[in-house]
Amino acid sequence: MPASYPASIKSFSTKVDVTDVIYASHPNTIQEEIVAIQSILGVTPSLSTAPSPTGTFISTATTFNTVAARLANIETGIVADVHTQYINKTNGAVTTASTSSAVVRNIHVSTGTPASGDGINGDVWLKYA
């Protein structure tokens, strides 16, 4: 019998020692559900795919074959993102856009004090000890 997952969540009956007879179908059903879960998760979904900023991000509603493929697409979208309304990190500086104008500000986080001429108009310097 095919697995219920991912179309639905399989419910199992609780077995009682010395009362219930365990048939081969009981552990076989559990195995089928485990394989279905593994197939949807994909191989090593916990590992980053080392996305490239030149990768192709799929921004439309899409059914991915695995959760790992969906996560890889999200990572690609984050790395390849060129929208200025979000905070981005580039070359050690965190860049964000002002919502009130088209001015882009860099947020520099450093232990040092900025020297004269460092940065551009609108930059913010955060010093930490």
Q: Is the pTM of this model over 0.75?
A: no
pLDDT digits (tens, 9 = 90+) for 16-41: 999 999 999 999 999 999 999 999 99
pLDDT digits (tens, 9 = 90+) for 50-93: 777 777 888 888 899 999 888 888 888 877 766 655 555 555 55
| Tokens linked to 75 | 């990572």
Residue 26 backbone phi and psi in degrees, to 5: -65, -60
Go through the chain and tell me how many residues it has. 129
For 32, 80, 98, the CA distances from 63, given in Å and listed in that order, are 22, 21, 35
